[in-house]
Amino acid sequence: MTETPQSPAPASNAENPLLKPWQTPLETPPFGEIVPEHFLPAFEQAFADHAAEVAAITHDPSAPDFANTITALERSGKLLAKVSAVFYDLVSAHSNPALLAIDTDVSLRMARHWNPIMMNAVLFGRIVQLHENRAALGLTPEQLRLLERTYTRFHRAGAGLDEAAKTRMAEINERLAHLGTAFSHHLLGDEQEWFLELGEGDLDGLPDSFVVAARAAAEERGLPGKAVVTTSRSSMEPFLKSSTRRDLREKVYKAFTARGDNGNANDNNATIVEILALREESAKLLGFPTFAAYRLEDSMAKTPEAVRGLLERVWKPARTRALADRDAMQTMIAEEGGNFALAPWDWRYYAEKLRQKTANFDDAAIKPYLTLDGMIAAAFDCAHRLFGVTFSERKDVPVWHPDVRVWEVKDASGKHQALFYGDYFARASKRSGAWMTSLRDQQKLDGDVAPLVLNICNFAKGAEGQPALLSPDDARTLFHEFGHGLHGMLSNVTYPSLSGTSVFTDFVELPSQLYEHWQEQPQVLRQFARHYQTGEALPDDLLQRFLAARKFNQGFATVEFVASALIDLEFHTQPASASRDVRAFERAELEKIGMPAEISLRHRPTQFGHIFSGDHYAAGYYSYMWSEVMDADAFGAFEEAGDIFDPATAKRLHDDIYSSGGSRDPEEAYIAFRGREPEPDALLRRRGLVETPQAA
């Protein structure tokens, strides 16, 4: 068992900034005053406060009603939410060994805190009584939705189990909390430990923007004047696309795909085996045959069969397209005199060559026009034109790292709506990937609480005094995360549990993926894609070639994603005993679906943080594609209106999707916006995939 980290305690809780009112602009976290030693005392106080609040609800002698049970639950745990938000932001975006040690301890304490609350028979009895009589309570639609979601949450947590089953469920939850934290720490450890130093002769083919970022990464690792490749996707992807050194591409690729699978202290294989066994056991305790069946019951998809149907429908044309691209690249290798078979570390390099040949376009041509500041301005301008919001930078708000920027968001009337934090650059203290989260959620239960919304990315920095330049994929990622951010910033609900992104996992990606569409619109790019040196607008010829090349390599992108989603589904559908050898399970599943040998999973199991660092996307990685069916169809509403900023369509999008949070059923919300259910073929059209006989 992990011991509690021994650190000097603050003088007293009265001096702990996490436990005092924040005398900062808009009551934002005072990051400059907070040190790791403040967290455990703050969590202890927060756990105690929350337990007392829940006990008061449980032991209320009055008959249960919506106010003394559901609303009271919504008001409980404010300090815990406040402390947790700051802590997990730092653990993910700017960690250090002290924070990671505390994280291991807190994850266990968190499970031990929530287990007796979520399995409290008396409390659940009050909720059940209200749920059974809900039609007679005179509730508003939002209150009714909250009651239904509260009942479902407690029921699915095991509140209705017998005492022996509750005890075992609590043990499982505690162990899963520990294992999920360990998984993410292992992955971060492997990412921090590996890098490849590049000598002067190792830079062939690499664009200047990459070399600048590689030198910055080396300096951060105590190697001034050197250049390094790391296992951050923002480093690995451009290196594999551009480096002429096949031997170095192989090294980088193998290091990237081996994260968490090196047989060292950071190895995640045994962790995965135990996680899967415990998830299966918990699902069976709750009466479900598999964890996937349990997880998907409370989703738009509803069943594993529905998920598999969507993924297989997309898999066949994607695989066919990928195999055709593979053959074209193999021909190109032969034409160049190469005497080797295309390997996974060659795909991105030759795909770029093939794109230059067939579409006369490569990322390096457009990158000088995609500055980080330009794409931020584009994202803000689209939000203003769609929803009336404005953004003004604030320099007086405390941040957790000097690179973090903050903007105040105001609505069309000039009223304060939110604060938006942008943390865009890769660093060793930040986990890989890109995500949106919040330091405070919107709600109106006790006053009009404006949210504090965060976007965290891992883009490469520019040289000293030079702007950061984004690839088209980076620019798309920025718009994607900002779409999530808008979902949080535009939220307009009363109850905290229904705020912002508190929706089904297979609906939460709709606002983010839909927002990506505006990034690639000609009128947006013509205005905001400007050369970082000359200020020249993106030339029309290059713009047209970029737009024409968008669907290039979609076979590869779709195959690597769908294969990962299918592996996730199989991990959680098949008996846990089938995956005791994780590598063998992975190989067998890829062989079963006919995975091209030249393409790897977007996330191999040992680095699949989406599904193993916690359970948010477990049996749910398909959600991105489920939402893409909706987002591809939803953007059609603007195209049909003849204006990508059509006011009437934008108002429906705001009211039915972005501002409603979890206050209504997602299917009902989508139909209210679109007037009908989504058309599934929109996804295949967007990706440029057509149904054809599957290649051998």
pLDDT digits (tens, 9 = 90+) for 337-365: 999 999 999 999 999 999 999 888 888 88
Which pLDDT does position 679 carry in this prediction?
A: 86
Cα separation, 356 vs 353, whole angstroms: 5
Point out which residues pair with 228 in neighbouring strands. Answer: 197
Strands 452-459, 435-440: pairing kind? antiparallel
Res 645: pLDDT: 98
Interval 590-609 mean pLDDT: 97
pTM: 0.92
Residue 9 has pLDDT above 50, yes or no: no
CA distances from 333 to 74, 207, 254, 337 (A): 62, 22, 21, 6
Task: Give me the residue label for tokens 């808009």.
Answer: 26
Evaluated on CA atoms 75, 76, 79, 83, the torsion sign reads negative
Amino acid letter, residue 633 = D
Write down the pLDDT at residue 484: 98
Residues in contact with 162: Cβ distance below 8 Å, sequence separation at least 6, in sequence order: none
Nearest to 24 by CA among 37, 13, 38, 34: 34
In this prediction, residues 326-332 reach a mean pLDDT of 97
Determine whether 481 is an active site residue. Answer: yes
**What's the Rg (C-alpha) of the chain?**
25
Minimal CA–CA distance to 241: which of 362, 332, 349? Answer: 349
| Residue 525 to residues 205, 518, 547, Cα–Cα distance (Å) | 27, 9, 10
Express each pLDDT in 125-159 by its tens digit. 999 999 999 999 999 999 999 999 999 999 999 99
In this predicted structure, the answer to whether residue 498 has a pLDDT above a threshold of 60 is yes
Cβ count within 10 A of residue 390: 16
Instruction: Please compute the mean of the pLDDT values over residues 450-476 and round it to a whole number.
Output: 93
**pLDDT tens, position by position, 528-553:** 999 999 999 999 999 999 998 888 99
Statement: residue 4 has pLDDT above 50: no
Distance, CA of 188 to CA of 102 (rounded, Å): 15
The H or E element spanning position 305 is helix 304-335
Please check whether residue 343 is in contact with residue 438, taking contact to mean a CB–CB distance below 8 angstroms: no
Average pLDDT over residues 556-560: 96
pLDDT score of 26: 97
Are 90 and 400 a contacting pair, CB within 8 Å?
yes
- What are the structure tokens assigned to 532, written together? 């970082």
Residue 270, phi-psi category: left (phi > 0), alpha (psi -120 to 50), beta (remainder): alpha
Which residue is listed with tokens 């919504």?
74
* Average pLDDT of the segment spanning 297-316: 96
Predicted confidence (pLDDT) per residue in 600-623, tens digit: 999 999 999 999 999 999 999 999
pLDDT score recorded for residue 234: 87
In the predicted structure, residue 3 carries a pLDDT above the cut 50: no
> Would the pLDDT of 10 be above 90?
no
pLDDT digits (tens, 9 = 90+) for 189-236: 999 999 999 998 899 999 988 999 999 999 989 999 999 999 988 899
Q: In which residue are the tokens 């209705």 written?
A: 160
CB neighbours of 550 closer than 8 A, spacing ≥ 6? 520
What is the H or E stretch that residue 458 is in?
Answer: strand 452-459
And the tokens for 278?
A: 């415990």
* Alpha helices for 367-418 (secondary structure H): 372-387
Cα distance between residue 305 and residue 573, in whole Å: 10
416-425 and 405-410 strand pairing: antiparallel
Q: Is the pLDDT of residue 371 over 60?
A: yes
Share of the chain above pLDDT 90, in %: 90
Give the pairing type, strands 435-440 and 416-425: unpaired
Per-residue tokens: 409: 């968001």
Q: Which of 191, 481, 560, 570 is the catalytic position?
A: 481
pLDDT tens by residue, 405-432: 999 999 999 999 999 999 999 998 999 8
Mean pLDDT of all residues in the chain?
A: 95
The predicted pLDDT at position 174 comes to 97
All structural domains of the chain, each given as residue ranges with its CATH number in brackets, are 13-160 (1.10.1370.40), 194-257 (no CATH), 369-548 (1.10.1370.40)
CA triplet 203, 207, 213: central angle to 5 degrees?
85
Residue 391 is predicted with a pLDDT of 98
**Would you place residue 32 in the very low, low, confident or very high pLDDT band (cuts 50, 70, 90)?**
very high
Give yes or no for residue 637 having a pLDDT over 80: yes
DSSP secondary structure letters along 217-284: HHHHTT-TT-EEEESSHHHHHHHHHH---HHHHHHHHHHHHTTT-SSSTT--HHHHHHHHHHHHHHHH
Beta bridge partners of 488: none
Predicted pLDDT at 12: 65
- Region label for 289, one of left (φ > 0), alpha (ψ between -120 and 50) or beta (otherwise): alpha
Contacts of 589 (CB under 8 A, 6+ apart): 566, 567, 570
Residues 46, 42: Cα–Cα separation, whole Å: 6
